[in-house]
Amino acid sequence: MSKFNEEQLRAINIRNKNVLVSAGAGSGKTMVLANRVLSLLKDGYSLDNMLILTFTKNAAQNMKTRIKKLINEVPTLSSQLSLVDGADIETFDAFNKKLANKYRVKLGLTDGYDIGNETTFDLLKRNFIIADFEKRISSEDKEFISILDNYTDTSYDNLFNLILKIEKSIEAKRSP
């Protein structure tokens, strides 16, 4: 009996098409994709010619670990083992940053350009939200001031964190 269901087997065995595996946490996405890679390697493909993208650094690292483990179980694929760490197994963000760096001139990016990371974006969000808070306070927005009275103490941290929590929850439901 297979450890994969019909849909998972289809994702592992389909050829000549890109595959998107979208499912909830703990559903076996990493195992399915790692086995897809193993199946492709057995068919003669090389990690040098694969692009494997994930949403988080942790998922990318787990993918590399899982692929190494599977390759170790197939002696004829030992040459692929040395390619895993340098393979394009990374986050969408890391891949996009690599492309932006490679094609910087064609994209019209200046020498000093930078691609923001999550920390940078969180800081920008915070600054934007605080500026909005201050604008609403100075315009004497009564409803907003009432919210501040109920959700803040001497700083905006509680309300700011609540807004970020709501935003992350919405984003998690929106992501595939």
Residue 90 and residue 122 in one domain: no
Residue 88 and residue 51 in one domain: yes
Residue 23 and residue 97 in one domain: yes
Give a yes or no: residue 109 inside a domain: no
Give a yes or no: residue 113 inside a domain: no
Residue 143 and residue 88 in one domain: no
Of 102, 135, 165, the position where a domain reaches its end is 102
Mean pLDDT of 140-146: 88
Residue 80 and residue 157 in one domain: no
Give a yes or no: residue 93 inside a domain: yes
Residue 31 and residue 77 in one domain: yes
Residue 17 and residue 65 in one domain: yes
Give a yes or no: residue 108 inside a domain: no
Q: Are 62 and 27 a contacting pair, CB within 8 Å?
A: no
Domain holding 89, by residue range, is 6-102
Per-residue model confidence as pLDDT tens digits over 64-85: 999 999 999 999 999 999 999 9
Of 78, 102, 126, the position where a domain reaches its end is 102
Of 68, 102, 136, the position where a domain reaches its end is 102
Per-residue model confidence as pLDDT tens digits over 88-141: 999 988 899 899 889 988 988 887 777 777 788 888 888 888 898 889 889 988
Residue 76 and residue 31 in one domain: yes
pTM to 2 decimal places: 0.64
Q: What CATH number did the domain enclosing 79 receive? A: 3.40.50.300
Residue 132 and residue 60 in one domain: no
